[in-house]
Amino acid sequence: EMQLVESGGGLVQPGGSLRLSCAASGFTFSGYTMNWVRQAPGKGLEWISSISPYSGPIYYADSVKGRFSISRDNTESSVFLQVNSLRAEDTAVYSCARGRGYFSSGTYNMDVWGTGTTVTVSS
């Protein structure tokens, strides 16, 4: 069974940092682009970042560019999101999702999702 399990969330003060992890199982991790998507309380889905199978190319949403950094370890079947300079508006459930398709051809979707880890930014 394909599975994604996130961890690393928690309560952090404004300006603080966290490292989120997503462990994959049940599929060949190195064959897929991986994504982070967040959902603020009561709000919609917001794509945050994508990383290609061998760590290039990497894309970020403008809202997190310069503050968040995505990485992956194919030997551990894991993808990470380093979140720095956190703001109250970064409070959300952060989920990882497996990507399918190709950006260049415009056919891209996310077909396997984790349940997420909660990040709360508050003093």
Partner 1 sequence: QSVLTQPPSVSAAPGQKVTISCSGSSSNTGNNFVSWYQQLPGTAPKLLIYDNEKRPSGIPDRFSGSKSGTSATLDITGLQTGDEADYYCGAWDSSLSAYVFGTGTKVTVL
CA–CA dist 18, 10 (Å, integer) = 8
Length, in residues, of the chain: 123
Whichever of 86 and 110 has its CB closer to partner 1, that residue is 110
Nearest distance from residue 27's CB to partner 1, in Å? 14
CA–CA dist 67, 61 (Å, integer) = 11
Q: Applying CB under 8 A, does 9 fall inside the site for partner 1?
A: no
Q: Which two structure tokens, joined as six digits, stand for 11?
A: 């309560």
Whichever of 13 and 107 has its CB closer to partner 1, that residue is 107
Q: Applying CB under 8 A, does 56 fall inside the site for partner 1?
A: no
Closest CA to 95 of 37, 16, 34, 32: 37
The site for partner 1 (CB under 8 A) is made up of 35, 37, 44-47, 50, 59-62, 95, 97, 100-101, 103, 106-111, 113-116
